[in-house]
Structures are given as structure tokens and as C-alpha cells.
Amino acid sequence: MKLERLRFVAILGAWILCCGLGLPVARAIIVFGSGDPARNTAPPSGALEASGWHWQGRWQFALGTVIGPRQFLTARHLGGAPGDAFEFRGLHYRTVALTNRPGTDFNVFTVAGRFADFAPLNTGAHEAGRPLMLFGRGGRRGEAVVGRGWWVGDYDGAQRWGTNTVKGLVGADQSPAGELLVFDFSGSAGADEAIYSGGDSGSGAFLLDRDGQWKLAGVGYAVEGPYTSDTNAPPKYGALFDTRDLWVGQPGNQEWLPDGAMATGTRGYVTRVSSHAAWLILQASAQPPAGQPILESSVDLRSAFVEETAYSIDGDQRRIEVPVSTVARFFRIRGASRLQLRSISAEVCTLHFDW
């Protein structure tokens, strides 16, 4: 795989936390083909239907990807701690454990409850040239930069998707987060071609493998920028398909991107999954902490009770949530101590058990 150099970048989560608004503002996936704020905010369909959208959950102001029955993977630089909430497919999970991989930007959280299914991991080491699916939360395209692309626009909090292609690899000796996969904003790869901006930290980047299956290949880490044509003017972050003759970096620490025969676009970076696949598989098989309540169900009282396939437990709110089903079943809660139910209620898509 072609080795790339890590150019001036903004760590996606750090960028938005330092934006000066005093809020965890998210600006997200920018799509080449349209500035319509509704563009690519619904799950993809057709050949892209299984490309990773349905394994994204809301974490902090960003995203995380479900990788095990009780685990999700996100960016370490986003922070967070056991006790924080994670929202996935309408259920509200409480995190109960955290582990991270030294030398990477990976955080793996364990939740109370269970996920119905989870993303397969890319374990192969030949990602270059493979189609890539990107996700992120937040903004729309901003002001046009004539002949170059767009500046980053306003925040709107929406989850979006876009496509790209793996260009190469940044080696671990070039990055504080270990090996990174690189992609860029070429402006010539179709209407859905996308690039990161602040707020895309922790989101999953999915690769179309040779077996035809979309697999988690990386976690959103950084994007190149900011840019300016005049070192006396404040730089801006952008989704640019031509960065020639611009300065990149923060004032006082900028690099000139020279003119050349071929245009080069803004680069995005994801922390590479395949380099740590064995460790991630091990973390994704971890059991819940001892004493954690388990929700079990059975179709009748004569049959064995087994753990429910999808449910969440919030110990702070003393609530269990489970998706509504068309199949009638009996429930029981297995735990280290006796729980006394206070109420059972239903919303459109979920049952609530409060104790």
C-alpha cells in the first residue's frame, strides 16, 4: 500500500470543542453533489443498504460503531467515561466499562443490555483502492470557493453518509494514533463523494471487501486544514478538491501546498482497524460486569427463558427498554439482587420496565 505523509490536520473532536461557541458543535460529512441539507440524511439503499449506517449510534455529539453484543467502538479523543449514555436504534444504553488501545485513538465501551447485531471487522491489510463508506453528524456545505470547493458551513446536527476510496496509509511512525487510512476529496468521484469535517470523530468508515461485504475499516480521526491563500488572513476549514497554491495549518505553523499539474483535494484520515483486529475481536467478546441484570424472555411459561436479543438497561433511571415486537412473550429479569418493578409502560416502538 502506498505510504502517505500526515499533513496539517485538525483532530475532528478537538476542532469542534475549541471552535469558540462554548458548545460541542458538530459539523459533519460534506457531500460533493449537493448543498441540500437533506441530502444523504436517510439510510442508504440498494447496493449501499448494508454499508454501515445501521451500526452507527449516537455518542456524545458524534458517533460510535457497534462491534459486539455489548460493545461499541469510538474515538478516544472524544473522551467519555462509564456512566455516559449511548443511543442506538431508539434504545438508550448506559455504558458500564471502558478499555482503550495504547498508541491508538480507539476506545471500546461496554453497555448494560444487549445489541441485536453488530458490524463485521475488516481484518485484511490490502485496503488501498477499495470503496469506502463514511458517516458523520452535523453540518452542511458552506460558502463556495470558486474553482476549489466549499468552506465548512453551519451546524445542523444531522447524521449523513457519503462515499470515497482508500488512497493509502500513514505509518505508525508518522501519527500519534498509530496507522491511519487516507482518503481525499477529488471532486471527480460522483455526487456522493464526501469528506470529513469537525464532528465526524468516532464514526465508522466501512470498506467494501472482495467478498462483497461491507466491513468496519476505520474510525473517524482527523481532516486536513485549515486553509488560506494569504498568511495574513485567518485560515478556514474546507472541503476542497483543489488545494494548490494554498497555505495549510494554523497561523505560525503553516505549509505551502505548491502548484502542480494535478489538483489535490482535502485529505481525511481514519484510525486503521485491521492493524488491531485481534485486539478488537477480543474486546468485543467481553462479558458484562458481574451482577449486571439480564433481561430474559420466553414465548410461553413451559419453554426455557433466554436472553432477549436487544434491550437496554439504565441503572441511573432504573429502567429497562426493549423494542416492541409482534410476538407475544413473557419476560423475567435475572440479576444478583431482587428487583421490584414499579411500572410497565409502552411507547410507539419500546416497552419500558421501571424498578
pLDDT for res 277: 97
What mean pLDDT comes out for the span 128-134? 96
Residue pLDDT, tens place only, 200-213? 889 999 999 999 99
Residue pLDDT, tens place only, 339-348? 788 999 988 8
In whole numbers, what is the pLDDT of the chain averaged over residues?
89
pTM here is 0.92
Grid cell in block for residue 261: 499539474
What mean pLDDT comes out for the span 232-259? 93
**Would you say residue 27 has pLDDT above 60?**
no
- Edge to edge, what strands does the sheet with 149-152 contain? 141-145, 149-152, 238-240
pLDDT for res 163: 97
The strand ranges marked E within 166-285 are 168-170, 180-184, 194-195, 204-208, 214-224, 227-228, 238-240, 246-250, 253-257, 267-272
Is it true that the peptide bond before 226 is cis, omega within 30 degrees of 0?
Answer: yes
Q: Which of 317, 316, 312, 318 is nearest to 351 (CA)?
A: 312
- Which residue type is seen at 308? E
Residue pLDDT, tens place only, 178-207? 999 999 999 888 999 999 987 788 999 999
Grid cell in block for residue 173: 511512525
Q: Cell 485496503 appears where?
A: 127
Whether 251 and 225 have beta carbons less than 8 Å apart is answered as: no
Q: Which of 354, 279, 273 is nearest to 320 (CA)?
A: 354
